[in-house]
Amino acid sequence: MKFFKYMSTISLAVAALMATTSCSDDELGDTIFPDTTTELDPNSYTYKFDKWLKQEYLDVYNLDFRYKMQDVGTDMNYNLVPAELTKAEDLALLTKYLWFDVYTKVAGSEFLKMYGPRIIHLIGSPAYNPQSGTMVLGLAEGGIKVSLFRVNELDNTNFDVMNEYYFKTMHHEFAHILHQTKTIPTEFRAISNGRYDDNNWQDQWEPRMNSLGMVTNYASSQMREDFAEVIANYITKTDAQWAYMLKMAARGWESESSEEDTSSKYYCWYYFEDNDAKNNKSYAEDSQVKEIKSSTGEVTYQLIDSHTGSVVKDSLGNPVEVYAVVDKDGVDGVAIINQKVSICRNWFKDEWGLDLDALREEVQTRQLNYNMEELRKQISDIQ
Amino acid sequence: MKKFLYITAVLATVALTSVSCKNEVDDLFDQSAAERVQSAVDEYTAVLTANGGKWVMEYFTTSKEPGYIYVFTFNADGSVVISGKNKWIGDVYKSEKSLWTMLSDNGPVLSLNSYNKVFHVFASPEDIPNETDEDPDETGYGHSGDYEFIFMEYTADVVRLKGKKYGASIYLRRLPADTDDKAYLGLIDDMKAKLFNSKFSKLYITNAQNERFVMTGGVNGVASFYPEAGDAITQTSSGNFIVTVDGIRFMNTVEIDHADPTAEPFRFTKFNYQEADGSLICADDNSTIITAAPFSELFADKNNTWTLTKAKITGNMLTLYNAVVSECKKKLKETFRYFQLYYSNDDQRFGLRFKSGNYYGIIFYNLNITEDNKATFTIDGSCAEGTEYYYNNLTSFKAFCDALQSTTWTVESDSRLVPSSIKFVSDNSADDSFTADL
């Protein structure tokens, strides 16, 4: 027993000595990594673009705009290709004009410096998910980085497509960054709870999703995607596009199976009596129906022959009576979408001190009034 | 116990003295690991841009498709001009400038890091289109080609790369700075035309032991092989290759079964074109050659129709041919068009087919071609229905046929791989000849 006591004492003493025999606190030596923080090379092929990016993104927002794809910054399970240089230049210009300059104007210059992403990473191709038949258009990673895909399909003459692929995606991903900083309001979480379907959202018909209070199919996948989609769509959709979406949200829907494929479902919103059809009625799509408003405001519908464009008549020569399908899903899609917008509006105001409608107005003004050639001069005029 | 304490104290002292701090250690290397990688990056950058920076890339994706030739010009300003011509970019010459860099993310890596329409099509995730693919089912993998390459090894003029994601072995070979990209790719087209033709879909590989292997699919760049004396079903193997200015190089070493499947497989990787006889000779053993089928098989192929081109008929044969033309004109008021070596499916026989005016006639023959390329015709005067009139009443026809069977012909072709033009020279007189064009 004594032996162990001695051993313990000695061990403790040795340990104490060793502990006090610490290394001296010499200065750390030079980094083992080579210094690669060199100035931009004026002889570089991309000097003007690089300098513009430094001036407009890095120096102002501390943002690294990566247009030369780095596969280590992507999910390596996808097959991806880099962005085309000229497309990357255009997208960098438009991103600043339609996103950064908008927030700077509406929210002040500090807002994006505080909350904006630190990295924007451009990727030329989509990221395909073959099993679900979907593709990734954008990612917001860790509130720091936004990845934009499909850059090589940028067509600066087609704003609707640009909105869908890039600008809506940017606002969507930025909304994620914002709600990763300040959480989504509880009341938003409750609105459509139980209606999200993360596995089959891509198979849904978007107008039907509108009627269930979702602004897009993707919004019906998860609550947080719903939140980002409401913000992004509200900001980027034109008045006409937003009104059409609400019109769809107000409609009633019925589904039917086709004779060829009984598993398919077609969601229809008009019907007329047809003794030869199942349940004695046939369905008509929007394009087949003409809306007639009487002087008293009563609305009736006529069936239009899609080949001749004339009104379809019955055996007695009278126009076939067409009826609107009654909205029986028990969900007031318009009210829900408006409620979601209202929550987002308040969240922007209360949590961020931002006016969502002012943001929308600024984006709408800019996206309908831009001159690509003028924007490009920002790069070409760099000395 | 004192002894024990003493030993313990000594050990502790020794232990303590050995725990001395030493920040300085002898440098085993004169640079840190990161600096060494960076210096390799700088070194490889210099290699690629040296001497005009012009290289030919022998590019492969997977074993399912052929290799593709690209001409690269690496510029020191970070730009690269890539030129190519293949079916995926419309089968026309295209050239485009994009960006490149050397990364150090996986050892030194050559990255073509901005999209180039001429090149990146192989790395794109889009489904590979084909004629029956109206609704592409996107799997997200496309050709599964790389656009980033690990530097494996290099000399001043050859760099071996490895695709970073899919791992294909890819070579860069230095070209003279003044190489014209389009002209160089034209040389590749010329070589392809010399090597493969869909009319000669079945080629033979003959090794030093005179053993023959059948090769098909060469025109597609993805070939199948089996031993001629073996089993075409169970012993078939395949290999994809690239056509270079020298010949062909397979993506991986090809292993073919011998007729005896238990024997060590026959292997090869590269074949060089031999200008002298238009064959491919194996660079691995300098002996094995690839040729088309022997002449005897070519003329026994019932699908082949060979036309005796008038401009290539010489000597007495030309005289006799002209006599046929004259007699048809004189006696029948017909314009004689041609003679062909032809297989008649109706008659199940080979025959000398001709067209005079609007009439097609056939005079049957037997053709025997020996291994040493000596050919003899046998014509007994039997004809297809209706042709007897020409053979019996127009003496020039019989005279031409008699001349064909009156001599032994030496058969020759400039190309052993694409023998689409085969010359018959009379052993009696070298002036007498005709050429059969496929």
Report pLDDT digits (tens) over B246-264.
999 999 999 999 999 899 9
The pLDDT of residue A38: 59
The pLDDT of residue A260: 64
State the nearest Cα–Cα gap between B160 and chain A, in angstroms: 21
State the nearest Cα–Cα gap between B266 and chain A, in angstroms: 36
Q: In angstroms, what CA-CA distances link A262 with A236, A277, A278, B38?
A: 38, 15, 13, 63
* Interface touch A70/B32, C-beta < 8 Å: no
Cross-chain CB nearest to A10 (options B8, B23, B123): B8
| A47-56, B119-128, B243-252, B276-285: segment of lowest average pLDDT | B119-128
- The answer to whether position A130 is within a domain reads yes
Residues 6+ away with beta carbon under 8 Å from B324: B336, B354, B394, B396, B397, B400
* Interface touch A68/B101, C-beta < 8 Å: yes
At B320, list the tokens: 């006799």
The pLDDT of residue A48: 97
- Return the amino acid letter for B280: L
- The whole-number average pLDDT for the span B333-358 is 93
- Averaged confidence pLDDT in chain A: 85
The pLDDT of residue A298: 87
Confidence tier at A370 by pLDDT (50, 70, 90): confident
**Chain-centroid distance, C-alpha B369:** 28
Chain A residues lying within 8 Å of B103, measured CB to CB: 70
* Interface touch A82/B79, C-beta < 8 Å: no
Q: In angstroms, what CA-CA distances link A246 with A241, B24, B366?
A: 9, 73, 84
Chain B residues lying within 8 Å of A34, measured CB to CB: 34-35, 38
- The whole-number average pLDDT for the span B336-361 is 93
Pairing of strands A64-66, A119-122: parallel
Residues 6+ away with beta carbon under 8 Å from B53: B72, B73, B74, B75, B76, B177
* Interface touch B138/A135, C-beta < 8 Å: yes
| Optimal mutation site among B14, B16, B103, B114, interface A, most CBs of chain A within 10 A | B114
The pLDDT of residue A3: 46
| A51-60, A85-94, A353-362, B120-129: segment of lowest average pLDDT | B120-129
Confidence tier at B321 by pLDDT (50, 70, 90): very high
Confidence tier at A2 by pLDDT (50, 70, 90): very low
| Domains in chain B: ranges and CATH | 34-184 (2.40.128), 196-292 (2.40.128), 298-437 (no CATH)
* Interface touch B33/A81, C-beta < 8 Å: no
* Interface touch A34/B8, C-beta < 8 Å: no
| Whether residue A162 is found in the same domain as residue A60 | yes
| A23-27, A251-255, B140-144: segment of lowest average pLDDT | A23-27
Confidence tier at A1 by pLDDT (50, 70, 90): very low
- The whole-number average pLDDT for the span A279-295 is 84
* Cα gap B338→B323, rounded to integer Å: 13
* Interface touch A152/B115, C-beta < 8 Å: yes
- The whole-number average pLDDT for the span B50-66 is 96
| Optimal mutation site among A3, A27, A46, A81, interface B, most CBs of chain B within 10 A | A81
Residue A246 has pLDDT above 70, yes or no: yes
| pLDDT tens by residue, A195-208 | 999 888 888 888 88
Instruction: Tally the residues of chain B.
Output: 438
Using the Cβ of A42 and the Cβ atoms of chain B, whether some distance falls under 8 Å is answered with no
| Optimal mutation site among A11, A31, A71, interface B, most CBs of chain B within 10 A | A71
- The answer to whether position A329 is within a domain reads no
- The answer to whether position A343 is within a domain reads no
| Whether residue A300 is found in the same domain as residue A378 | no
The pLDDT of residue B4: 58
What number of other Cβ atoms are within 10 A of residue A228's Cβ?
28
* Interface touch A127/B140, C-beta < 8 Å: yes
| pLDDT tens by residue, B192-207 | 999 999 888 899 999 9
The pLDDT of residue A27: 59
The pLDDT of residue B132: 56
* Interface touch B124/A125, C-beta < 8 Å: yes
> What is the complex's ipTM, to 2 decimals?
0.79
The enclosing domain of A59 has a CATH number of 3.40.390.70
At A266, list the tokens: 């077609």
Chain A residues lying within 8 Å of B88, measured CB to CB: none
| pLDDT tens by residue, A160-191 | 888 888 888 889 988 998 998 899 999 999 99
| A29-38, A374-383, B277-286, B323-332: segment of lowest average pLDDT | A29-38
Pairing of strands B279-282, B289-292: antiparallel
- The answer to whether position A122 is within a domain reads yes
* Interface touch A18/B148, C-beta < 8 Å: no
* Cα gap A343→A213, rounded to integer Å: 14
Residue A303, helix vs strand vs coil: strand
Using the Cβ of A70 and the Cβ atoms of chain B, whether some distance falls under 8 Å is answered with yes
State the nearest Cα–Cα gap between A274 and chain B, in angstroms: 35
Show the DSSP H helices in A120-211 as ranges.
159-162, 168-181, 186-191, 206-211
Cross-chain CB nearest to A69 (options B76, B113, B137): B113
The pLDDT of residue B6: 57
- The answer to whether position A243 is within a domain reads no
| Whether residue A60 is found in the same domain as residue A159 | yes
For B14-35, give one letter per residue: b (16+ CB within 10 A) or e.
eeeeeeeeeeeeeeeeeeeeeb
The larger pLDDT score, comparing residue A144 to residue A154, is at: A154
Instruction: Tally the residues of chain A.
Output: 383
* Interface touch A130/B78, C-beta < 8 Å: no
Q: Domain span at residue A78?
A: 45-167+371-383
Cross-chain CB nearest to B19 (options A18, A85, A87): A18
- Averaged confidence pLDDT in chain B: 90
DSSP A260-295: S-TT--EEESEEEE-TTSGGGEEEE-GGGEEEEE-T
| A332-346, B13-27, B116-130: segment of lowest average pLDDT | B13-27
- The answer to whether position A276 is within a domain reads yes
Confidence tier at A255 by pLDDT (50, 70, 90): confident
User: Which 12-31 residues of chain A touch chain B by CB within 8 A?
Assistant: 13-14, 17-18, 21-24, 26
| pLDDT tens by residue, B292-307 | 999 999 998 888 899 9
| pLDDT tens by residue, B6-38 | 555 555 555 555 555 555 556 666 777 777 888
Chain B residues lying within 8 Å of A45, measured CB to CB: 75, 77-79, 99
Cross-chain CB nearest to A130 (options B21, B75, B138): B138
State the nearest Cα–Cα gap between B254 and chain A, in angstroms: 28
- The whole-number average pLDDT for the span B336-345 is 93
| Whether residue A375 is found in the same domain as residue A311 | no
| Whether residue A66 is found in the same domain as residue A134 | yes
Residue B333 has pLDDT above 50, yes or no: yes
At B186, list the tokens: 């034209």
| Optimal mutation site among B99, B122, B148, interface A, most CBs of chain A within 10 A | B99
* Cα gap B194→A203, rounded to integer Å: 52
- The answer to whether position A222 is within a domain reads no
State the nearest Cα–Cα gap between B34 and chain A, in angstroms: 5
| Optimal mutation site among A5, A17, A45, interface B, most CBs of chain B within 10 A | A45
Task: Provide the percentage of residues in chain A whose pLDDT is more than 70.
Answer: 86
* Interface touch B138/A128, C-beta < 8 Å: yes
Confidence tier at A273 by pLDDT (50, 70, 90): confident
The pLDDT of residue A31: 57
* CA proximity to B339, closest of B349, B350, B353, B326: B353
Percent of chain B as helix, strand, coil, to the nearest 5: 25, 35, 40
Residue A157 has pLDDT above 90, yes or no: no
At A336, list the tokens: 């829900």
* Interface touch B77/A67, C-beta < 8 Å: no
Residues 6+ away with beta carbon under 8 Å from B82: B70, B71, B72, B95, B96, B97, B98, B112, B116, B118, B119
DSSP B296-336: HHHHH-TT--EEE-GGG-BHHHHHHHHHHHHHHHHHH---E
State the nearest Cα–Cα gap between B216 and chain A, in angstroms: 32
Cross-chain CB nearest to B16 (options A3, A17, A125): A17
Element (H, E) at A336: helix A333-352
Q: In angstroms, what CA-CA distances link B291 with B164, B278, B294?
A: 37, 8, 8
| Whether residue A80 is found in the same domain as residue A148 | yes
| Whether residue A65 is found in the same domain as residue A143 | yes
* Interface touch B125/A79, C-beta < 8 Å: yes
| Whether residue A163 is found in the same domain as residue A99 | yes
Confidence tier at B122 by pLDDT (50, 70, 90): very high
Nearest Cα residue in chain A from B143: A79
Cross-chain CB nearest to B78 (options A46, A124, A130): A46
Confidence tier at A72 by pLDDT (50, 70, 90): confident
Total domains in chain A come to 2
Q: How many CB pairs under 8 A join A and B?
A: 125
At B372, list the tokens: 């040493």
Confidence tier at A258 by pLDDT (50, 70, 90): low
Confidence tier at B3 by pLDDT (50, 70, 90): low
- The whole-number average pLDDT for the span B34-45 is 86
User: Tokens 């510029």 identify what position?
Assistant: B75
Pairing of strands A145-148, A119-122: parallel
- The answer to whether position A54 is within a domain reads yes
